Amino acid sequence: MWKGRFKTDTAQLLKEFSESISFDWRLYRHDIAGSIAHATALQAAGLITAAELEAIKNGLLEIRDEIDRGEFQWKTELEDVHMNIEAELTRRIGDAGAKLHTARSRNDQVALDTRLYLRDEADEIIRLLRELQKSLVELGERYPDVVIPGYTHLQRAQPVLFAHHLLAYVEMFGRDAERVADARKRINVMPLGSGAIAGSTINLDRALIARLLDFPAISQNSMDAVSDRDFAVELLSALALLGVHLSRLSEDLILWASAEFKFITISDAYTTGSSLMPQKKNPDVAELTRGKSGRLVGNLVSLLTVMKGLPMTYNRDMQEDKEPVFDSVDTAKAVLQIVAAMMKEVTVNPTACAEAVSDWALLATDVADYLVLRGVPFRKAHEIVGKAVALCIERGVGLAELSLDDYKALSPVIEQDVYDILSVRRSIDARTNVGAPASENVRAQLARWRKLLD
């Protein structure tokens, strides 16, 4: 493609070193769609005839169908997806194929292909996120009354409904979907027509191309258009944070499924055994998900590192954007799909949950609130209840087993009704503020998310 300037062939070692067809072939459908739109603009500008446009379209669609069937022969010596398709098109239809690259560069071509690809993948990731949210809501709906200890510092803190805990992740994944959708807005800008750096003296109708490819916006600076990968960085950033959220959910599942917790059972279909220990049932899906979050974070760092030192405009370093982008998209989609499927087959052990939530210390904060409502400053109330807890530990009893005299010795405002608050169910249902885990609130949130997701 540059034989006019060079006197000798490119070294075979360089061909092998610089090729990208081994991974960017997956852009073929987007490359072909972009080429058809570009050819339509060439014909509208009078640069090719209607017959040539028809030949280009038909030739490209034939190539697309061959690739779909796995029959197309990719050639490493042609470097990338763009040249493989263009060269084959020219071989098939002659000069009309050689006219296709008029007024465009691989620089704006690859920017277009990548944006088209990521636009589609963003839509699919949002769909998969919604499926994961649905699976969490459905699990919460199956166990609306199960209570578990909520934890801070991995120490039992206060009782919460199991469904409330799941809804925390539904909220997280909702924000992830919003971030992907927001990144999609900046992905959805049409760069074709920017050329290699400064557009072209052959001015095509960029608005026509944008309409054909369903872009609502057109890039406004040719240098920025070919050198910009912010849109890819932004999506990878959203996927990295998604990976963190998936990893946190996985960690909870791993703990809950352990013999020490026994809160849940993950079905045999989504666990594995041990090659040595016959009794083992390992939460491999959750563990792999937790591990794959590192890839999502690493791919973001990789792309940021590629871009950080580049001068304007296109530099070959930017070829290194593809593999981290493809890997993050593939990883996110795979993980979302399998975690959603796994969650549909999780069962809860209400007996183990009830045993864990019978821990009397979970209600210590309720006693402090009781004192505050009787005029005791919170810091003083905190101290009083701390002494009550210490007394319980010393005697080996719970808060409900302290006598009224014991309580009176700690604070004269405590009355017989203190025992009324020492109930897990009362503790939960007293928390009625917006966002709190009262049963009525949780039912309303499950219904709200069910409606949104349906």
Cα gap 23→83, rounded to integer Å: 14
For residue 230, the Cα-to-chain-centroid distance in whole angstroms is 17
Q: Is 105 a catalytic residue?
A: no
Pick from 313, 354, 328, 27: which is nearest to 197 by CA? 313
The count of residues in the chain is 454
Q: Beta-carbon neighbour count of residue 383 at 10 Å?
A: 16
Pick from 352, 343, 365, 338: which is nearest to 426 by CA? 365
Q: Is 164 a catalytic residue?
A: no
Contact 23, 186 (CB under 8 A): no
Q: How far is CA 156 from CA 62, 152, 351, 355, 419, in A?
A: 63, 7, 17, 13, 21
Pick from 198, 189, 201: which is nearest to 313 by CA? 198
Alpha helices in 344-377 (DSSP H): 350-357, 364-372
- Residue with the two structure tokens 């209400």: 350
Instruction: Report which secondary-structure segment, H or E, holds 161.
Output: strand 155-161
For the chain, the distance separating the N- and C-terminal CA atoms, rounded to the nearest angstrom, is: 52
Cα gap 385→366, rounded to integer Å: 10
Q: How far is CA 328 from CA 29, 125, 301, 302, 337, in A?
A: 20, 11, 12, 11, 14
Task: Give just the sign of the alpha carbon dihedral 338, 343, 349, 352.
Answer: positive
Q: Which of 22, 258, 267, 274 is catalytic?
A: 274
Contact 1, 100 (CB under 8 A): no
Q: Are strands 346-348 and 264-266 parallel, antiparallel or unpaired?
A: antiparallel
The catalytic site residues sit at 153, 274
